[in-house]
Amino acid sequence: MANTNLGAAKAARNDEFYTQYHDIEREVNAYLEYNPDVFRGKTILLPCDDPEWSNFTKYFAQNFDRFGLKRLISTSYAPESKKYQFGYEPTLFETLDPRYDEDKTKTNGKIFILDKDRTGDGKIDVNDLEWEYLEGDGDFRSEEVKRLRDEADFIITNPPFSLFREFLAWMVGAGKSFLVISNMNAITYKEVFPLIMSNRMWLGYGFNAGNAYFGIAKECVRDFAGGVYDESTGLVKFRNCCWFSNIEHGRRHQPLPLMTMADNVKFSRHKEIQGHDYLRYDNYDAIEVPFTDAIPSDFEGVMGVPISFLDKYCPEQFEILGMCENMDLYGLKTKVYTSDQCRKAYFDKFGKKGTYDLNASGVIVQDNRYEKVYQRILIRKK
């Protein structure tokens, strides 16, 4: 259901997901544990934000002194520019300020800046934030926000899922350090996977038990049927969200504890593995490993593993060779299926004709039947 709801949100361009404070704190702590001075003397930009509501702004503002930040910049997107719109009411924080403009509050983004003690209480925190309207609507692609990007050392936010490809290119092209949230399926995007494969981006520390809870506007609840939305908390739960980053953290350098192939076959907790030989793909010279904890420690060849493997990936332990996909971008395919074979496989599995893309993932042949598996990343032990 989580995948369905994320898809619905993307189709509706409903990207109003508010990240929980404790999730931000949990994630950022992983980078501070690895390097306590990671943010010291640096400028952080929080784009695609809503500073008056955002927990990103609150968290970094409250920890400004502790992190030793140089400057914190947070920007918002104008309500009338959003593709998913509902009734907008400015906050008292804005309407009681002499700078309040009834027209600009709808058509212009806002910028919040924190860089000094403005209240004179001897510390820099959320009470010292200064704000004004942006010249434009706050779109991250605008020249105005690009200038802020170029000034920043770190970009940290929960960007619109529907624009993740473009937003990632916007950060990477500028050579910035970043920490952002997106759908785990983004791993399979052709704009994303090469960055992971070349060790220029990796998964972050992760949400607690893999559960990501976001606050959403009450008017958007209709998009989240099926028990995912909790009326009592106002939160919606996703199982396939993750943090993407190029900031070092210790977890990604911890090798996976693994059993040998023989021990997996004998003791694995997975019925697909215990008592069975590891199956081989028909169109890749590799074995199918459907669970990360079932990767055999003593296998020297290529293995196809789920994309969730990246949550445990240690670059010192494994090499990423490519991905099972249509176009054979990584030159690893050993067989390409004909249209007739694809149609036959679809009919065999589902009892109806249609296009069944056997090349999108590794394919196993059992009892003269083609079986397509979920998306796989191809790895090899170092």
Please write down the HEC assignment for all residues of the chain: CHHHHHHHHHHHCCCCEEECHHHHHHHHHHHHHHCCCCCCCCEEEEEEECCCCCHHHHHHHHCHHHHCCCEEEEEECCHHHCCCCCCCCCCHHHHCCCCCCCCHHHHCCEEEEECCCCCCCCCCCHHHCEEEECCCCCCCCCHHHHHHHHHCCEEEECCCHHHHHHHHHHHHCCCCEEEEEEEHHHHHCCCCHHHHHCCCCEECCCCHHHCEEEEECHHHHHHCCCCCEECCCCEEEECCEEEEECCCCHHHHCCCCCCCHHHHHHHCCCCCCCCCCCCECCCECEEECCCHHHCCCCCCCEEEEEHHHHHCCCCCCEEEEEECCCCCCCCCECCCCCHHHHHHHHHHHHCCCCCCCCCCCCEEEECCEEEECCCEEEEEEC
Query: For residue 6, how far is the Cα from the chain centroid?
Result: 12
For 34-51, what is each residue's pLDDT tens digit? Answer: 999 999 999 999 997 777
- The mean pLDDT value for 345-372 works out to 61
Q: What is the pLDDT of residue 96?
A: 77
Cα angle 76, 62, 139; round to 5: 10
Mean pLDDT of 376-380: 96
Write the burial class of residue 291 (CB in 10 Å: 0-12 exposed, 13-18 middle, 19+ buried): middle
Question: Could you tell me if 294 and 364 are in contact, meaning their C-beta atoms sit under 8 angstroms apart?
Answer: no
Provide the pLDDT confidence category of residue 348 given band limits of 50, 70 and 90: low
Bridge partners (DSSP) of residue 74 are 46, 112
pLDDT score, position 237: 85
Sorting pLDDT into bands at 50, 70 and 90, what band is 12? very low
What per-residue confidence (pLDDT) applies to 87? 58
Token representation of residue 94? 């804005």
Mean pLDDT over the full length of the chain: 86
Q: What is the mean pLDDT of residues 348-368?
A: 59
Q: Which residues pair with 16 in a beta bridge?
A: none
379, 318 Cβ separation under 8 angstroms: yes
Checking if the pLDDT of 14 tops 60, the result is no
Side-chain-facing half-sphere of 231: CA atoms under 13 Å: 4
Residue 310 tokens read as 């990246």
Q: Which residues, at least 6 apart from 28, have a Cβ–Cβ distance to it below 8 Å?
A: 59, 179
> Percent of the chain, pLDDT > 70?
82
Phi-psi region of 340 (alpha: psi -120 to 50; beta: other; left: phi over 0): alpha
Contact 113, 72 (CB under 8 A): yes
The larger pLDDT score, comparing residue 50 to residue 368, is at 50
CA distance 192 to 202: 10
Exposed / middle / buried, residue 140 (Cβ in 10 Å: 0-12, 13-18, 19+): buried
Q: Which residues pair with 319 in a beta bridge?
A: 380
Q: Residue 129 above 70 pLDDT?
A: yes
Euclidean distance between the first and the last CA atom of the chain, given in angstroms as a whole number? 37
pLDDT score for 282: 83
- How much is the pLDDT for 52? 77
State how far the Cα of 324 lies from the Cα of 341, in Å rounded to an integer: 18
- What are the pLDDT digits (tens) for 291-347? 999 999 999 999 999 999 999 999 999 999 999 887 888 999 998 877 777 666 666
- Rg from Cα positions in the chain: 24
Residue 357's pLDDT band (boundaries 50, 70, 90)? low
Q: Give the residue-averaged pLDDT of 143-148.
A: 98
Type of residue numbered 19: T
Mean pLDDT of 247-268: 96
128: phi then psi, degrees, rounded to nearest 5: -100, 5
Residue 80 neighbours by CB distance under 10 Å: 13
pLDDT band at 350 (very low <50, low <70, confident <90, very high): low
Q: What is the pLDDT of residue 6?
A: 38
Residue with tokens 């994309």: 307
Asked if residue 380 has pLDDT above 90, the reply is yes
Q: Kindly report which listed range (164-168, 210-214, 326-330, 371-375) carries the lowest average pLDDT score.
A: 371-375
Read off the pLDDT band of 222 (50, 70, 90).
low
